[in-house]
Structure 1
Amino acid sequence: MATQTMLKFVSTPREMPEKRSAAERSDDFHEIYREFAAAKAAEQSSRCSQCGVPYCQSHCPLHNNIPDWLRLTAEGRLREAYQVSQATNTFPEICGRICPQDRLCEGNCVIEQSGHGTVTIGAIEKYITDTAWDEGWITAALPAQERGESVGIIGAGPGGLAAADMLRRQGFQVTIYDRYDRAGGLLTYGIPGFKLEKDVVMRRNRLLAESGVEFVLNCNVGEDISFDAIRGKHDAVLIATGVYKTRDLDIDNAEAAGVVRAIDYLTASNKVDFGDDVPDFADGELNAKGKRVVVIGGGDTAMDCVRTAIRQGAQSVKCLYRRDRANMPGSQREVQNAEEEGVEFVWLSAPGAFTGHVTGVAASAQERDVDGPPQIASVRIQKMRLGQPDVSGRQSPELIDGADYDEPAELVIKALGFEPEDLPRLWGVEGLEVTRWGTIKADFQTHRTSLPGVYAVGDIVRGASLVVWAIRDGREAAEAITDFLSGAARVAAE
């Protein structure tokens, strides 16, 4: 009788890839998990129950066919597993690394609900695609036939790159415009290497270039080229800029020297990792080395900041969050990793003020920069308690009177989330409708905006969200653009 390949969750315990020790990994920016061996990946895949209603698949924004590629992996059919995986996901090895699986596929695994521990879906997804790269199964997608229509994509983040991949496969001429010197958006400059090593992103960029996608980098729309010029040059335009405007604090000395934005801090660190010359890092402004660091926020960006500060050699790293651990938006797995590496979480706490001193207090008045902002010296911390639920159902934090105290700090990083830039004003565009939150108004299925032939995807539509949602949006928009241009071609032919 044939041996049962699947349903081994009762006899085989859940096991993640080996994690490097906190002491070892805190000294570098390499990924913290080691690779699965083939036997271990097959063993963990065999734990899948192959349930009739795969909640892992339905709770994945891309609806990846997870049970099928787990079964194929368990059977050692890795090339087929990769083909099934990439059929719905443009960047499976990236999602396997950075998706919050504990809130999506793994968090909804049926055997997890029955107390047996979820299948390690993310680690297996990463293993399948890394193997495909190593074996040379992944090659540039060259279309069977070229088409004359062109599409301009503004933003080289995951949404824009996913759309570019799908559109090139259809034969369209695709040009991506991006403000940075490397493509990838937050994949390149916002996410640290210990979660997503940069060669993983760069090889995808190279693959797209080999497939015929044109990249126009160091290009600020509205400055280096107008939005109208892009519309005039292309048959359709996709806006995939993401959201980069940092939410701020309305407190005393909010502009104190030593108080920095998370995006600036992480971008500088990633540029240094690339070997770039970064003056603001070299002069210490965006470098945590030897400093007492306070990070404000409880999302995944805050987790990236605290763990980066540890690796830069900070004297101490504390994370302030106004709710408790159970109510924080960031991945619990990331919180655990940060705690292992030496980060201290200060729950139910919020900044009340930044107190500072003028640089060089002991110097003469003539030598002081009296016109500049004070240098941060400490954060006034206000203690909170959780009160009544707000409209979202989460308990609202309330201030505890008289419980304030000062926390010394030489570097404060604001990781409070991101808001959309005012694109219609920045780009001088009339008729591009936005919501009351400043995000672009677009159809949720076709991603069409109020301007003919202009589409929008990702965070600039959703607000700050997950990479996997941007990938889904980009793929859907590519389908809608294909239908639009095919229809336009038919009309022209008639």
Structure 2
Amino acid sequence: MGKTTGFMEYSREEAKERNPLTRLKDWKEHTEPMSEETLHRQSARCMDCATPFCHIGMEIGGMTSGCPIHNLIPEWNDLVFRGRWREALDRLLKTNNFPEFTGRVCPAPCEGSCTVEISSPAVTIKNIEQAIIDKGFENGWITPRIPGKRTGKKIAVVGSGPAGLAAADQLNQAGHSVTIYERAERAGGLLTYGIPNMKLEKEIVERRIQLLSQEGIDFVLNTEIGKDITSEELKDQYDAVILCVGAQKQRDLDLEGREANGVHFAMDYLTKSTQRLLNQHPSDEEFIDARDKDVIVIGGGDTGADCVATALRQECRSIVQFGKYPKLPEARTPDNMWPELPNVFTMDYAYEEAQAKFGEDPRQYTVQTKKIVADEEGNLKELHTVQMQYSVNAQGKPELKEIPGTEKVWPAQLVFIAIGFEGPEQPLLQQFGVNTENQKIAAKHGDYRTNIDGVFAAGDARRGQSLIVWAIQEGREAAREVDKYLMGSTVLV
């Protein structure tokens, strides 16, 4: 490395965020670019650790540890330290098709397994990654890569989220003709409609879609399989099909009063908000507006946090987020040691904004919703909850028990359910006749073949709800297997 003692000399510095109250007035990204001077110092903290755990890309304790796409992190850190940005970009693009996405919205499991993290805050890998790709676009280094030769093979990719885009990109560069089918008005899937603009501006997504189109990938939008074109037509017209349809079936609550007006799935809310921002104009009846309402989010994950941030920008009257489990510890516990992903308390951008506006963190822990209550007209009025006691039984499994006397009534006119996803929507899978397992497409990791010849699956549709970086990894690997299937061998890695 350029400075072998950098990790001892410099402290971790993260990208600065815009003032929370200021950014609540717009929908722009909440972070600011880091200066080259700061990036130079931060890249110097990479310690030439010989065995870089930052890119091991495996699951430990049920959580991702290291980078699943095996980014060459120490190499491009060193090149950034030396000011060789163009070479750093080349290294980054060897393994990652879309660093502009992962550099913004990936939870950075690479940092959790950074060797510096053993005793000090990790290297700011994610910020450096974003800086490299942003500089690549700013300097015009990223231009359309038009394949010089076509194989004559045609592939259909169903779904334009990160898995579908990665698979299409790889196969197009291998010389195949790729068509992506997307039922929405815009391509990008989760990247476009599921992640709010303040985390990933849609111009960033659209820039990549346009680049892929210029490189020869066809996008067929507003087209739903089974409605506008059948699965049989796809199989007849193409040499292979890859299903990258995501895990869009949202997990629901089985609660008294669930049918009340004002109770919505979180992803429906986020999607309609983005559509309005993109001038796709959902009708006033369809649009979900939190203005002047008491809002409750049920579910403690990232999707719930995004609902908090969205409701704040719509000028809600109050906001609370219910979590099932206790507040996380401030530091790693003995059962969450390096190189596992740190399971520790953090202040997400949404919570900083809520605290700045209302004076407190909106999260409530170990809360169980008992019932939803509507008024005489069927409109949501309140939620009834009880506090839970969390413990771990003799078998090491968590247990939650109600604490008598902790019942509470919360006023609410909007509730968003953000408790995860169950898997892909089943009608599409039934059309193709693919086997399922635990509501997901049955296809082995590393092989990606379904039970139907020529039909492959990758991403959340196959593995279940997961990280964008895993979707990219699966899209890349599925492309490799499709290339083998079509050509007998592969040029993809």
Please give the TM-score of this superposition, normalised by the length of structure 1.
Answer: 0.90
Choose from 344, 354, 371 the match for 2:372.
Answer: 354
The question of whether the paired residues in 2 share the 8 Å contact of 1:390 and 1:396 is answered with: no
Question: Counterpart in 2 of 1:13?
Answer: 11
The question of whether the paired residues in 2 share the 8 Å contact of 1:299 and 1:331 is answered with: no
Q: Alpha-carbon deviations, 1:312-353, whole Å to 9, x = none?
A: 111111000111122899986864423321151111102111
Report the secondary structure of 2:134's partner residue.
helix
User: In 2, distance between residues paired with 1:129 and 1:300?
Assistant: 24
Q: Alpha-carbon deviations, 1:343-378, whole Å to 9, x = none?
A: 51111102111111023xxxxxxxxxxxxxx10001
Give the partner amino acid of 1:32.
H
Report the secondary structure of 1:151's partner residue.
strand
The ranges of structure 1 where at least 4 consecutive aligned residues each deviate by more than 4 angstroms after the TM superposition are 327-334, 424-427
Choose from 221, 231, 235 the match for 1:231.
Answer: 235
Alignment of 1:41-56 (within 5 A): 41-56=39-54
Question: Counterpart in 1 of 2:197?
Answer: 193
Residue 384 in structure 1 maps to residue 388 in structure 2: yes
Residue 203 in structure 1 maps to residue 201 in structure 2: no
Give the partner amino acid of 1:29.
W
Report the secondary structure of 1:9's partner residue.
helix
Give the partner amino acid of 2:18.
R
User: In 1, distance between residues paired with 2:431 and 2:285?
Assistant: 36
Question: Counterpart in 2 of 1:110?
Answer: 115
Give the partner amino acid of 2:87.
E
Question: Counterpart in 1 of 2:314?
Answer: 312
The question of whether the paired residues in 2 share the 8 Å contact of 1:327 and 1:394 is answered with: no
Question: Counterpart in 2 of 1:295?
Answer: 297
Question: Counterpart in 2 of 1:22?
Answer: 20
Choose from 86, 91, 95 the match for 2:93.
Answer: 86
Residue 66 in structure 1 maps to residue 84 in structure 2: no
- Seen in structure 2, the aligned counterparts of structure 1 residues 37 and 333 have a Cα distance that, compared at 3 Å, is farther
Question: Counterpart in 2 of 1:371?
Answer: none
The question of whether the paired residues in 1 share the 8 Å contact of 2:250 and 2:421 is answered with: yes
Give the partner amino acid of 1:256.
A
User: In 1, distance between residues paired with 2:329 and 2:314?
Assistant: 28
Report the secondary structure of 1:220's partner residue.
coil
Deviation at 1:228, TM superposition (A): 1.1
Q: Alpha-carbon deviations, 1:379-398, whole Å to 9, x = none?
A: 1112111123597x552322
Greater displacement, 328-337 / 65-74: 328-337
The question of whether the paired residues in 2 share the 8 Å contact of 1:8 and 1:48 is answered with: yes
User: In 1, distance between residues paired with 2:119 and 2:138?
Assistant: 36
What is the count of residue pairs matched by the alignment?
A: 465
User: In 2, distance between residues paired with 1:301 and 1:427?
Assistant: 28
Choose from 135, 140, 143 the match for 1:139.
Answer: 143
Please give the TM-score of this superposition, normalised by the length of structure 2.
Answer: 0.90
User: In 2, distance between residues paired with 1:16 and 1:84?
Assistant: 22
User: In 1, distance between residues paired with 2:70 and 2:474?
Assistant: 13
Residue 485 in structure 1 maps to residue 486 in structure 2: yes
Deviation at 1:4, TM superposition (A): 5.3
Alignment of 1:161-200 (within 5 A): 161-200=165-204
Report the secondary structure of 1:305's partner residue.
helix
Deviation at 1:206, TM superposition (A): 0.3
- Seen in structure 2, the aligned counterparts of structure 1 residues 4 and 74 have a Cα distance that, compared at 3 Å, is closer
Question: Counterpart in 2 of 1:240?
Answer: 244
Q: Alpha-carbon deviations, 1:169-209, whole Å to 9, x = none?
A: 01101011111111100100000011111111110100111
Report the secondary structure of 1:18's partner residue.
coil
Give the greater-gyration-radius structure (CA).
1
Q: Alpha-carbon deviations, 1:201-247, whole Å to 9, x = none?
A: 11010011101111111111111111111111100000000011111
User: In 2, distance between residues paired with 1:459 and 1:254?
Assistant: 27
Unaligned runs of 5+ residues in structure 2 are 57-65, 331-340, 355-360
Give the partner amino acid of 2:88.
A
- Seen in structure 2, the aligned counterparts of structure 1 residues 481 and 141 have a Cα distance that, compared at 3 Å, is same
Give the partner amino acid of 1:263.
M
Report the secondary structure of 2:303's partner residue.
helix
User: In 2, distance between residues paired with 1:318 and 1:389?
Assistant: 30
The question of whether the paired residues in 1 share the 8 Å contact of 2:273 and 2:287 is answered with: no
- Seen in structure 2, the aligned counterparts of structure 1 residues 476 and 188 have a Cα distance that, compared at 3 Å, is same
Deviation at 1:433, TM superposition (A): 1.0
Give the partner amino acid of 1:477.
A
Report the secondary structure of 2:9's partner residue.
coil
How much is the aligned-residue C-alpha RMSD, in angstroms? Answer: 2.1
Question: Counterpart in 1 of 2:406?
Answer: 403
Question: Counterpart in 2 of 1:438?
Answer: 439
The question of whether the paired residues in 2 share the 8 Å contact of 1:141 and 1:168 is answered with: no
Residue 339 in structure 1 maps to residue 339 in structure 2: no
Unaligned runs of 5+ residues in structure 1 are 360-373, 490-494
The question of whether the paired residues in 1 share the 8 Å contact of 2:2 and 2:78 is answered with: no
User: In 2, distance between residues paired with 1:39 and 1:236?
Assistant: 48
Question: Counterpart in 2 of 1:472?
Answer: 473
Identity rate, percent: 38
User: In 1, distance between residues paired with 2:445 and 2:208?
Assistant: 27
User: In 2, distance between residues paired with 1:330 and 1:119?
Assistant: 14
Q: Alpha-carbon deviations, 1:274-312, whole Å to 9, x = none?
A: 122121xx3585111111100000111111111111111
The question of whether the paired residues in 2 share the 8 Å contact of 1:294 and 1:318 is answered with: yes
Give the partner amino acid of 1:411.
L
Question: Counterpart in 2 of 1:152?
Answer: 156
The question of whether the paired residues in 1 share the 8 Å contact of 2:366 and 2:388 is answered with: yes
- Seen in structure 2, the aligned counterparts of structure 1 residues 49 and 300 have a Cα distance that, compared at 3 Å, is same
The question of whether the paired residues in 2 share the 8 Å contact of 1:22 and 1:340 is answered with: yes
The question of whether the paired residues in 2 share the 8 Å contact of 1:151 and 1:234 is answered with: yes
- Seen in structure 2, the aligned counterparts of structure 1 residues 106 and 439 have a Cα distance that, compared at 3 Å, is same
The question of whether the paired residues in 2 share the 8 Å contact of 1:350 and 1:382 is answered with: yes
